[in-house]
Amino acid sequence: MGADLPTGARRTELATLLRFCLVGGASTLVFAAVSWLLIWLELIPAALVNVAAIVAGIAASYAGHYYFTYRVGGGQHAFFGPRFFVVTAILGTASVAFTHVSVENFRVSPYIVSVLVSILYPVASLLLHHFWTFARS
């Protein structure tokens, strides 16, 4: 993710960014599909529906980034899996804390905070996963 890269490397970085966006979109769809299905089936309470949908979305995100975005493969889940879940936990916690502080302490509209989280979370996720979780060094 740098303008100083040679053309071939820049193309590779852009392809990685595109795959990252596709996986993010797909994992969001998995979250929505699981939550809507579980709501429709009326098997578990709404709070548990949300938990199940989040878990499904995170699993889809990890698998997509592992196999498609960064093309790791080779059974390296013991290394990359914990890193992925650490980043996910940190970003989830940070987004909840940011939302709470912004709305409760600074009286920022929850709609504005939602837009900010929707922009900041994917950017932070991309940077952390690219430069730490799935870093090749």
Across the range 23-42, mean pLDDT stands at 96
Residue 133: band (very low, low, confident or very high) from pLDDT cuts 50, 70, 90: very high
Give the pLDDT of residue 2. 56
- What distance in Å separates the CA atoms of residue 48 and residue 98, rounded to the nearest whole number? 23
DSSP 39-73: HHHT-S-HHHHHHHHHHHHHHHHHHHIIIIIS---
pTM comes to 0.88
Question: Is pLDDT of 32 > 60?
Answer: yes
Give the pLDDT of residue 63. 97
- What distance in Å separates the CA atoms of residue 63 and residue 71, rounded to the nearest whole number? 10
Across the range 33-45, mean pLDDT stands at 95
- Kindly state the DSSP code that residue 75 receives in the 8-state scheme: T
Higher-pLDDT residue of 45 and 7 is 45
Give the pLDDT of residue 106. 97
- What distance in Å separates the CA atoms of residue 27 and residue 30, rounded to the nearest whole number? 5
Question: Is pLDDT of 130 > 80?
Answer: yes
- What distance in Å separates the CA atoms of residue 128 and residue 120, rounded to the nearest whole number? 12
Q: What percent of the chain has pLDDT over 90?
A: 88
Question: Is pLDDT of 33 > 80?
Answer: yes
